[in-house]
Amino acid sequence: MSLTRAAAAALLVALLAGCARPEPQAAGLAIPVNPLCTVCDDFLRCEAAGAGQDDYRVLHLQNKTFVAQLATILDFLLQYVRERREDVRPLAIYSSAGGPARTGVEAVTDLVRHRIAVPDGWIDQADGAWHGSDGAVLGQCRVLPLPEGRELVKSLRAAAPGPAQGGGG
């Protein structure tokens, strides 16, 4: 095997290994989301303060598009030249109150301040606090295990009438 092929193979293995493990700065975060994983699905369950367990939102941080995956790989390669400050992923929002999912929106993870910006607010990754756009604490979020998140979204989709609706902020 030529040196070029060996170097390319080593780089590919390093990139794939980086996607499988959480970011070092994610250690100790209540909401660890790996910004290097381009094909990950993450599910957050956010409950409003004082609301019952039957009143919640599920935020589905979806896997990235092909172009976004390429951009993430390029960011990974350039991280020693320029610091990566944010990560963007497609987002779907489901409500236990029913209705169609809100799709066509994005979650923007601030990799410096450890915040996930979502429409109408943000989530503090350090403690899971869910904030409104004015900064007021609305409730608490937690990461769902992948099988639990998928099942919960499946049940919310089945209960929702009509098609999913797009965007808006």
Phi and psi of 59, rounded to 5°? -105, 120
Per-residue pLDDT of 73-103, as tens digits, reads 777 777 777 777 898 999 999 999 988 999 9
Helix residue ranges per DSSP H, 52-115: 66-78
The structural domains of the chain, with segments of one domain joined by +, span: 3-159
Structure confidence by residue, pLDDT tens digits, 12-21: 444 444 444 4
